[in-house]
Amino acid sequence: MKEFIIKRTLHIIPVLLGLSILIFALSRIMPGDSIRLKLGPEATQQQIEAMEEEMGLNDPLPVQYWNYMKGAFQGDMGMSLQSNRNVAIDIFETFPATFELIIIAMAISIAIGVPLGVISAVRKDKWEDHSTRIVALSGIALPKFWVAIMLQIVFAYWFSLLPVVGRGEIAPTTITGLRLLDSLITLNFDAFITSVKHIILPSIALSIATTAQIMRLTRSNMLNQLNKDYILAARSYGLPKGMIVYKYMLKNAFASTLTIIGLSFGALLGNAFLVEAVFGWPGMAQYGVQGVIYKDYNAIVGVTLVIGVAFAVANLIVDVLYGILDPRIKYDS
């Protein structure tokens, strides 16, 4: 097992190296002139050239890449054109908000998607199956920003149950930046309740598509299990039905659902932007998209790298869990 984990971890390095080169190159060949955008229409040619020189944009691309990576390892990711601060600081401030949102959305997706998938498979072609499938299909089809706005209208505006935007006024002392966690660590329950109230709607809006996907995949994997000899055998030994479904079938079915969970992590990072925009959530996804709009090179590369690392780590965890769930994987590799 240890060997397996080390091997998978080492696989990440070339992936991240490739990603950084690709993103760096793309950000540099992107059309549009960020310096002109930044300095405004009044700027003189000299000012622009001076700024270009200062940011090292005149160096050959490999040199620029080398300097950037050297800085990045020391915590310097270059200056952001939007905030005039080091990108590393911006990311450090915004990433926990996005991360918290995604973790909660993921938790909701798994907690709802897996049981619904199981029920739908066990009650195949009955009303439980039909209704979950309709809900799941709409979950995939409905645009996230629309769902987000509808949630705001219904729960925040009509019923005034939950806040409309932001992460809440009462903030706990920042330790990890994840407010739910921080407020629990500092035993600040007012902050905890505020944070919970604020995260409910955005995380639901974000989780809907993933929930639907997990549900559909769990359903088809469970249906696949129904015809297996070992499931028939388990029935012939007189094992209780619940145990056959939730232990013998689900452990097999969940192994492949896990792959989708790892991949959805990436999708959630991408989709988080729309939800963050609607709910005024001060997260990194929104920061990254602003960076794209303002041609903020350093911000784009920084955010993409962080997303890349997060995605790679998420999939590493998935791979390891996969190896634990299904002993056959270890032997294949």
Partner 1 sequence: MSVKSEALLEIKGLKVNFKSFEGTAQVINGVSLKVNKGEVISLVGESGCGKSVTVRSILGLVPTPPAQFTNGDITFEGQSLLGLSEKEWQKIRGKGISMIFQDPMTALNPVFTIGQHLIDVYMWQGKRNTLFTSMKEKRELRKKGRARAIEILEKMRIPDPEGILERYPIELSGGMRQRIIIALALIHTPKLLIADEPGTALDVSVQDQILIELKRLVEMEGISMIFITHNLGVARMISDRVYVMYAGEVVEEATTQSLFSQSYHPYTQGLLSSIPKLNGQMGDGIDGRIPDFLNPPQGCRFYDRCSERMDHCSLTPPKLQTLSDGRKVSCHLFAEEVVGIHG
User: Which amino acid is it at 9?
Assistant: T
Dihedral pair phi/psi, residue 161, rounded to 5°: -85, -35
Nearer to partner 1, 195 or 257 (CB): 257
Query: Cα torsion at 23, 26, 31, 36 (round to 10°)?
Result: 50
Nearer to partner 1, 52 or 129 (CB): 129
Look at residues 293, 132, 286, 310 and name the one whose alpha carbon lies nearest to residue 206. 286
Whole-number Å distance between alpha carbons of 163 and 157: 9
At which residue do the structure tokens 């039905």 appear? 241
Nearer to partner 1, 7 or 330 (CB): 330
C-beta of residue 277 within 8 angstroms of C-beta of residue 286: yes
Contacts with 167 (C-beta within 8 Å, 6 or more apart), sequence order: 97, 179, 195, 198, 199, 281, 282
Nearest distance, CB of residue 229 and partner 1, angstroms: 4
Nearest distance, CB of residue 332 and partner 1, angstroms: 10
Nearer to partner 1, 15 or 321 (CB): 321
Nearer to partner 1, 157 or 230 (CB): 230
Nearer to partner 1, 67 or 220 (CB): 220
Nearer to partner 1, 248 or 287 (CB): 248
Q: Which region holds residue 174: left if phi is over 0, alpha if psi is between -120 and 50, else beta? A: beta
Whole-number Å distance between alpha carbons of 277 and 260: 26
Nearest distance, CB of residue 225 and partner 1, angstroms: 10
Nearest distance, CB of residue 228 and partner 1, angstroms: 7
Whole-number Å distance between alpha carbons of 187 and 22: 44
Nearest distance, CB of residue 242 and partner 1, angstroms: 7
- Here the tokens at position 37 are 């955008």
Nearest distance, CB of residue 280 and partner 1, angstroms: 41
Nearest distance, CB of residue 328 and partner 1, angstroms: 6
Q: What is the binding site for partner 1 (CB under 8 A)? A: 228-243, 247-248, 251-252, 255, 325-328, 331
